[in-house]
Amino acid sequence: MADPHTLQRELSSLYCFYNTIEKNETPPETDTLDIKFVDDVIKGIWGTDIKNLKDHDIYAYQYHGPALLKHLKSMGAATSGYKYGIFEKDTSLLTSQKGVSMNTTNVYDDIWDMFEERHRKLFSGSTVGQKDSWNPADVYLLKGSSAPIVKYVKKIKDMTEDDPPGIFVTLVNDYLTKLYQDKKLIGVSLKAAKPPNVPVAKEFNVVLDDDFESPKFGEAKIVKGGNGYVHQYMEVSDKNGSLDFKGNSITFEVEISMDGGKPLKYFWESKSPGRESPHTTEMKDMVKAKRGNALTKANARGGSITKGLQFKPLIKEFTGKDFNHRVPVGEVKWDKTDPPASVVRAVKYWSGIYLTLKKNPLVTLNDVKIKNKQGKEVVINGTRKGTMEYFYDLFWIDSHSSKDVKAAYGLPKSNKYYQNFRGKLRGLNIIRAVVKADSAGRLGEFLVKAYYKAAKIRFDIDDLQGPYVKIQ
C-alpha cells in the first residue's frame, strides 16, 4: 500500500535542503527524537497529520540537508542559488509556509511529459508508465533556467520521432548526465534513515555512455538470517480462521564483494503474488543496528524490480524456464482416490523440485506440513511419500470448494488460496534461479543484477535509467 504521507515526507526533506543550502540553517542534532526539535515549517507541512511523523523522519531531517550540501561541495557544485522541484507533485504546500521564499521549478515534469506511451512502456507494462522505473529522483535542484533544457529535450524528441523509442530515452539520459556533470540539474532520491546510520549522499548513473563500465563484483554468499538461508514458508494451517499458507514471502540476506569498495549487503524479499503475475520483489540495504556490530534492514526499500520487463527475464535467464513454468492455470475438481494424470504429473514434478531444493545448503525449506483446525499435523513431511502426499493435498484443496475443504480440515479455504498456492510454486522457481546461478558460478552476477535493477542503477550499457543522487 502506498504511503499516504509521501508528499509531506518529500516536501519536508526538500525544505531541509533549501534551509541548509540557501539559509545556512540545520535542525539541531540530538539523540532524543522528539517532535519539539522539528522545524515549524515542517510542522506546517504535516499539519494535523503531524502525529504520523516517525522517529526516523525526525532523525532524517537532522541530516538530509548537510548530507546534500557535503555532496555538492565534493562535486564542485554551487552551494546556493538553486531552484527546487518535486517530481510529479506540487510544491505549494511548502512554499505557502511562513518564512519560505524558495524558488521552484517543474523541469523534471516537463521532461517526463515529453515521454509518449511508446517511451513509457520501456519502464512499465502500462501506458501511463512509471517515472520511478526511469529515474527514482523524488526531488531535484536546478541551477539556472529550465527553458533551454526543455527546448533541447524537445529538439531531441523531434530528431528521434521516427526512431525506436529507446533512442530518445538514451539521448535524454545522456543529456541529463551532462547536466549533472555540469552541476546544473541534480535529482535526489530520498530514503528513510535508521539510527545510528547518519544519512549520506551517493551518486548513480552519472557517467556518459562512452565512459560506462558494468559493475565488477566478486564472491557472493547467502547469509543466515532469522529464518535461515533462502527461505519460503511451506506450512498450510489456520490463518485468520481460514486454511492458507503461513506466509507468502521469499526472504534472504546476501553479501557480495565489490571491486574497490565495501561489500554490497542487502535483504531480498519477494512477496504478495498476484493471480498470474510475478512476486513484488524488493531489496533493502543492510545497515548498522543500534547496538554492537550487528546489521539490520534499512527502513526504506532500495527499490523493486519491474515485474514483467525485468524480473521475468531475470528468472528465465538463470533457470532457462519461464517464470510460470509448470504453474497450473485454473482448477479441475477431482477425487483423491482417482487423481487425473495431469495432477499426478504435477505432484511428481513439484515434489521432486522441492526435495532437490531442500538438500541445497543455500536453501531453508523445512516446514512442508498441513495442519487442521486443532493444529494437528495431518500431512507430515520427512519422506518422498510424505512430500508427494503434501502436494496432492495442495492440489486437492485448490480444486475444491471452501465447504469441501472445511469438511476435510475443519477450516474453510482462504479466499486467496488460489493465488497464494501459485505464488508458492513460482517461489520455488525463484529459489531455483538462485541455486542454478550458484551452481553455474554466477551467484554474484545474479544478486548484483537483481539489486541494480531494483535500485534503478545501470548494470548494462543498454539500461535506460537516468542519473540521480540517493540520500540514505
Q: What is the pLDDT of residue 332?
A: 76
What is the CB neighbour count within 10 angstroms for residue 158?
9
Residue 127 has pLDDT above 60, yes or no: no
Average the pLDDT over 306-311 and give the result: 86
Average the pLDDT over 452-470 and give the result: 94
81 to each of 64, 178, 337, 381, 382, how far by Cα in Å? 18, 20, 78, 67, 68
- Of residues 305 and 143, more confidently modeled: 143
Q: Which residues of 40-77 are buried (b: 16+ CB within 10 A; e: fewer)?
A: ebbebbbeeeeeebeebbbbbbbbbbbbbbebbeeeeb
Least confident of 8-22, 150-164, 330-344, 445-459: 330-344
Average the pLDDT over 299-315 and give the result: 86
In single-letter form, the type of residue at position 39 comes to D
Q: What is the pLDDT of residue 422?
A: 93
pTM for the full predicted model = 0.91
Q: What is the pLDDT of residue 6?
A: 93
Cell numbers at 36, concatenated: 519539539
Angle at 76 between CA 457 and CA 199, to 5 degrees: 50
Q: What is the pLDDT of residue 262?
A: 84
pLDDT above 90: percentage of residues in the chain: 76
Residue 47 has pLDDT above 70, yes or no: yes
Whole-angstrom distance, CA of residue 90 vs CA of residue 139: 11
* DSSP conformation class of 442: -
143 to each of 72, 79, 183, 452, how far by Cα in Å? 12, 10, 7, 29
Whole-angstrom distance, CA of residue 60 vs CA of residue 375: 45
Whole-angstrom distance, CA of residue 169 vs CA of residue 218: 31
Sequence-distant (≥ 6) Cβ neighbours of residue 101 within 8 angstroms:
none
Cell numbers at 357, concatenated: 531444493
Whole-angstrom distance, CA of residue 234 vs CA of residue 368: 5
Average the pLDDT over 266-286 and give the result: 85
- Of residues 8 and 196, more confidently modeled: 8
Residue 114 has pLDDT above 70, yes or no: yes
Among 248, 430, 231, smallest CA distance to 324 is for: 430
Q: What is the pLDDT of residue 2?
A: 63
In single-letter form, the type of residue at position 174 comes to D
253 exposure class (CB count in 10 Å sphere: 0-12, 13-18, 19+): buried
Question: Would strands 363-364 and 377-380 be described as parallel, antiparallel, or unpaired?
Answer: unpaired
Cβ pair 39, 15 in contact under 8 A: yes
Least confident of 23-37, 162-176, 199-213, 458-472: 23-37
227 to each of 232, 249, 268, 299, how far by Cα in Å? 9, 11, 13, 19
Task: Dump pLDDT digits (tens) for 173-221.
Answer: 999 999 999 999 999 999 888 888 999 999 999 999 999 999 999 989 9
Whole-angstrom distance, CA of residue 405 vs CA of residue 113: 52
Whole-angstrom distance, CA of residue 372 vs CA of residue 411: 7
Give me the DSSP letters along 277-341.
SPPEEEEEEEEE-SSTT-EEE-SS--EE--IIIIIHHHHHHHHSS-TTTT---S-----TTS--H
Average the pLDDT over 12-38 and give the result: 87
